[in-house]
Structure 1
């Protein structure tokens, strides 16, 4: 990648902040959906092991997938925004 195509420090910081925010929103959405579907919050790692393994694995998989999806699409959107800002600065 050429130097003029490298994202600025501000774009990197904005992307990291947006990814953290998107992950938080995704996790909250999964918690709300889980509570709506099951009537209780998803199990947490520090809770008693009385929860069934299947429920713990399902909660972990759904949460991880939602967070990964949010982070990927946030990173893509931030990269597009940084490219537009850089294009406007250059031309």
Structure 2
């Protein structure tokens, strides 16, 4: 257990990293699917592509950034909840 209760444990840090990567991957796939349905074109993969419209590039960048922040926050919250459940379960078993 961590010396300071506010200090995240190693398990929480690793869980947050794993969940962040998983949430980011899922968010990227969802954004690409939604982009294709809305615009009828594949999601941009190269921001310096000369065929990419500036407005499209800007809108996609904003949507991708917002999706990344949302995914990171959801993953962090999920990792904290999972760690709390695990800690509570461990406390019940040791008590």
Count of aligned pairs between the two proteins: 91
Q: TM-score, structure 1 length as denominator?
A: 0.84
Take 1:66 and 1:46, find their aligned partners in 2: how far apart are those partners?
17
Take 1:50 and 1:81, find their aligned partners in 2: how far apart are those partners?
45
Q: Deviations over 1:25-83 (max 9, x none)?
A: 00110000111111111222355222111000101111111121011011011111112
Q: TM-score, structure 2 length as denominator?
A: 0.81
Aligned ranges for residues 10-49 of structure 1 at < 5 Å? 10-45=11-46, 48-49=49-50
Take 2:39 and 2:48, find their aligned partners in 1: how far apart are those partners?
17
Is contact 1:15–1:75 with CA below 8 Å preserved after alignment? yes
**Are 2:74 and 1:73 aligned?**
yes
- 57-66 or 37-46, which deviates more: 37-46
Is contact 1:30–1:63 with CA below 8 Å preserved after alignment? yes
Q: Which residue of 1 aligns with 2:90?
A: 89
Say what the alpha-carbon RMSD is for the aligned residues: 2.0
- Extract unaligned runs of 5+ from structure 2: none
